[in-house]
């Protein structure tokens, strides 16, 4: 038996909106640690890892580890029917082939349940090694989204370079080229508006902008984003989910053939 009650149901709505473009079908894993997911996009170029820790739920019952295969588009369709202020409860029976999403309005005057069919998904689980990154950039998530959107109107790829001068996002296309440099800026009024660059070694990597733009669908989840870079490693673009966990996107770089 599984029963997870999330008072801030809008978080789950936002999580689905952030990953459904990248991943079609995925197994949600439920254990005493929390509600998690790991899945690759269909081209096996990007990977998404989600964790919603059990402590973040008002009620968390998971009698035994369960893996539930869901079509994310269908799940998103159901969660769209929940109000932004609704409490969402996820329920499933051991060995069952459905999951139920229950939505309660804040005043308890409307209670809905939506039952969705589960599916068998044969997906491989990847081991993500602990890595020391050469550089970690923390910046406002809206700023990062703006940069990715702006650059994708000029080119298809972005070169992200971190030096002691700052972080540079560059692109080139048929009509010309563009460079955007963000300097470390910690003297802002609010910490979430700061750009913080933690660099051990200079790093420069090239990525497909199409994927970066897809990751920025997670912007509503967090005011800040952290971008961890090492030469010859996938970049990690992380959006922390307040009090609960994170959505991390890993993207393999473009490399010399």
What is the C-alpha to C-alpha distance for residues 166 and 69, in angstroms, rounded to an integer? 42
Give the span between the Cα atoms of 122 and 126, in whole angstroms.
13
- Tokens in use for 211? 């994927």
Q: 144 — alpha (psi -120 to 50), left (phi > 0) or beta? A: alpha
Site string for other proteins, 193-232 (x = CB under 8 A): -------------x-x------------------------
Tell me which of 5, 146, 233, 240 binds other proteins, using CB under 8 A: 233
Least distance between other proteins and beta carbon 236 (Å): 11
Give the C-alpha separation, 75 to 219, whole Å: 20
Identity of the residue, 38 or 184, whose beta carbon is nearer to other proteins in the bound complex: 38
Contact range with other proteins by CB under 8 A, out of 1-9, 38-46, 51-59, 96-104:
38-46
Please, which residues have CB within 8 angstroms of residue 206's CB and are 6 or more apart in sequence?
Answer: 157, 158, 159, 160, 253, 254
Residues 50-79 that bind other proteins (CB under 8 A): none
| Closer residue to other proteins, CB minimum distance, 45 or 79 | 45
Q: Is 43 in the site for other proteins (CB under 8 A)?
A: yes
With beta carbons less than 8 A apart as the criterion, state whether 166 and 183 touch. yes
8 Å CB contact between 5 and 58: yes
Among positions 93-152, residues that touch other proteins (CB under 8 A) are: 124-129
Stretch that binds other proteins, among 54-62, 76-84, 165-173, 247-255 (CB under 8 A): 247-255
Provide the binding-site residues for other proteins, judged by CB under 8 A: 40, 43-47, 124-129, 157, 206, 208, 233-234, 250, 252-257
């Amino acid at each position: 038996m599984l029963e997870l009650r999330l008072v801030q149901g809008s978080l789950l709505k936002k999580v689905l909106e952030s990953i459904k473009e990248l991943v079609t079908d995925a197994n949600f894993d439920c254990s005493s640690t929390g509600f998690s997911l790991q899945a690759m996009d269909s081209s096996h170029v990007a990977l998404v890892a989600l964790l919603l820790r059990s402590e973040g739920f008002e009620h968390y019952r998971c009698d035994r580890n369960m893996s539930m295969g869901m079509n994310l588009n269908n799940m998103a369709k159901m969660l769209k029917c929940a109000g932004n202020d609704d409490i969402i409860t996820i329920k499933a029976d051991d060995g069952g082939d459905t999951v139920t999403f229950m939505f309660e309005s804040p005043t308890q005057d409307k209670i809905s349940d939506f039952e969705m069919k589960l599916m068998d998904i044969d997906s491989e689980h990847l081991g993500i090694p602990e890595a020391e990154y050469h550089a970690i950039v923390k910046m406002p998530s809206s700023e990062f989204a703006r940069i990715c959107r702006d650059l994708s109107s000029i080119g298809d790829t972005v070169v992200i370079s971190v030096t002691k001068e700052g972080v540079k996002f560059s692109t080139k296309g048929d009509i010309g080229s563009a460079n955007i440099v963000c300097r470390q800026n910690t003297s802002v009024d609010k910490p979430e508006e700061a750009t913080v660059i933690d660099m051990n070694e200079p790093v420069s990597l090239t990525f497909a902008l199409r994927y970066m733009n897809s990751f920025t669908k997670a912007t509503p989840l967090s005011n800040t984003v952290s971008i961890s870079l090492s030469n010859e490693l996938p970049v990690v673009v992380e959006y922390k989910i307040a009090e609960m966990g994170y959505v991390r996107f890993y993207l393999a770089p473009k490399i010399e053939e």
